[in-house]
Structure 1
Amino acid sequence: MEFGPGSAAHLVRLEARSGALSGPTANLAPGFVQANLAILPRALAYDFLLFCQRNPKPCPLIGVSDAGAPIIEALGHDLDIRTDVPRYRVWENGKLVGEPENITDIWCDDLVTFAIGCSFSFEEALLASNVPVRHIEDDTNVPMYRTSIETVPAGVFSGPLVVSMRPMKPQDAIKAVQITSRFPSVHGAPVHIGNPAAIGIADIAKPEYGDAVRIQEGEVPVFWACGVTPQAAIARVAPAFSITHAPGHMLVTDLVNANLSI
Structure 2
Amino acid sequence: MSTAASTGYEARQLIRAGKHATQTSTLAPGYVQANLAILPSAQAADFLRFCSLNPKPCPLLASSDAGDWRLPTLGKDIDIRTDLPKYRIWRKGALEREVPDIKDYWRDDLVAFLLGCSFSFEDELLRAGLTLHHHERGCDVPVYRTSVPTTPAGPFSGPLVVSMRSFKPADAIRAIQITSRMPAVHGAPVHIGLPESIGIADIDKPDYGSAVPMEDGELPVFWACGVTPQAVVEAARLDFCITHAPAHMLVTDLRNSDFAVL
- TM-score bracket, shorter-length normalisation: over 0.9
> What's the offset of the Cα at 1:20?
2.3
Supply the RMSD in Å over aligned alpha carbons. 1.2
Q: Which residue of 2 aligns with 1:3?
A: none
> What's the offset of the Cα at 1:168?
1.1
* Aligned residue type for 2:204: A
> What's the offset of the Cα at 1:19?
2.2
Q: Distance in 2 between matches of 1:185 and 1:250?
A: 16
Q: TM-score, length-normalised on structure 2?
A: 0.95
Q: Which residue of 2 aligns with 1:119?
A: 118
SS in 1 for 2:34: strand
* Aligned residue type for 1:19: G
Which runs of 5 or more residues in structure 1 are unaligned? 1-5
Spell out the pairing of 1:126-145 with structure 2 (5 A cutoff): 126-145=125-144
Which runs of 5 or more residues in structure 2 are unaligned? none
* Aligned residue type for 2:105: I
Higher mean displacement: 185-194 or 205-214: 205-214
Q: Which residue of 1 aligns with 2:87?
A: 88
- Conserved? CA contact 1:34–1:250, under 8 Å: yes
Structure 1 segments of 4+ aligned residues over 2 angstroms from their partners: none
- Cα deviation, 1:217-246, whole Å, max 9, x if unaligned, reads 111111100111001111111000000111
SS in 2 for 1:99: strand
Q: Distance in 2 between matches of 1:203 and 1:83?
A: 37
* Aligned residue type for 2:232: A
Q: Which residue of 2 aligns with 1:18?
A: 17
* Aligned residue type for 1:83: T
* Aligned residue type for 1:49: L
Q: Distance in 2 between matches of 1:247 and 1:204?
A: 19
Q: Which residue of 2 aligns with 1:78?
A: 77
SS in 1 for 2:243: strand
Q: Distance in 2 between matches of 1:222 and 1:84?
A: 31
Pairs aligned (count):
257
Q: Distance in 2 between matches of 1:51 and 1:196?
A: 25
Q: Distance in 1 between matches of 2:213 and 2:248?
A: 21
Q: Distance in 1 between matches of 2:144 and 2:10?
A: 31
Q: Distance in 1 between matches of 2:145 and 2:11?
A: 29
- Cα deviation, 1:15-61, whole Å, max 9, x if unaligned, reads 22222222221132111100000100000000000000000000000
Q: Distance in 1 between matches of 2:131 and 2:239?
A: 41
Q: Which residue of 2 aligns with 1:197?
A: 196
Q: Distance in 2 between matches of 1:156 and 1:236?
A: 9
- Seen in structure 2, the aligned counterparts of structure 1 residues 198 and 89 have a Cα distance that, compared at 3 Å, is same
SS in 2 for 1:172: helix
Give the share of equivalent positions with the same residue, in percent: 59
In the alignment, structure 1 residue 206 sits paired with structure 2 residue 209:
no
* Aligned residue type for 1:117: G
- Cα deviation, 1:182-212, whole Å, max 9, x if unaligned, reads 0000000000111221111122222222222
- Conserved? CA contact 2:11–2:28, under 8 Å: yes
Higher mean displacement: 153-162 or 180-189: 153-162
- Conserved? CA contact 2:60–2:184, under 8 Å: yes
Q: Distance in 2 between matches of 1:17 and 1:210?
A: 25
Q: Distance in 1 between matches of 2:125 and 2:249?
A: 19
Spell out the pairing of 1:22-61 with structure 2 (5 A cutoff): 22-61=21-60
- Conserved? CA contact 2:94–2:234, under 8 Å: yes
* Aligned residue type for 2:16: R
* Aligned residue type for 1:224: W
- Cα deviation, 1:83-126, whole Å, max 9, x if unaligned, reads 11111111100011111111111111110000000111111211
- Conserved? CA contact 1:191–1:225, under 8 Å: yes
Q: Which residue of 1 aligns with 2:249?
A: 250
* Aligned residue type for 1:103: I
* Aligned residue type for 2:240: F
